[in-house]
Amino acid sequence: MKKLISQTKRAYLAGFLDGDGSIYVQLKPNKTYRFGFQIAPYIVLFQSQKDQKNFEQLCSMINLGYMRVRKDGILEYIIGRQENMIKFLELVEPYVVMKKLQVALLRKIIIVKNKVQNKKDFQALAKLVDAFRELNYSKNRKVRTLTP
Reported as a single tens digit per residue, the pLDDT across 89-134 is 999 999 999 999 999 999 999 999 999 999 999 999 999 998 877 7
Domain that holds residue 127: 2-135
Asked, for residue 50, whether it belongs to a domain, the answer is yes
Name the helix (H) or strand (E) containing 128.
helix 119-130
Query: Is the model's pLDDT at 57 over the cut of 50?
Result: yes
Asked, for residue 148, whether it belongs to a domain, the answer is no
| Catalytically annotated residue among 18, 20, 121, 130 | 20
Q: How many domains does the chain have?
A: 1
The CATH number linked to 60 is 3.10.28.10
pTM as predicted: 0.86
Nearest to 26 by CA among 132, 139, 147, 134: 132
Asked, for residue 143, whether it belongs to a domain, the answer is no
Asked, for residue 147, whether it belongs to a domain, the answer is no
Q: How confident is the model at residue 135 (pLDDT cuts 50, 70, 90)?
A: confident
pLDDT at 148: 47
Whether 20 sits among the annotated catalytic residues: the reply is yes
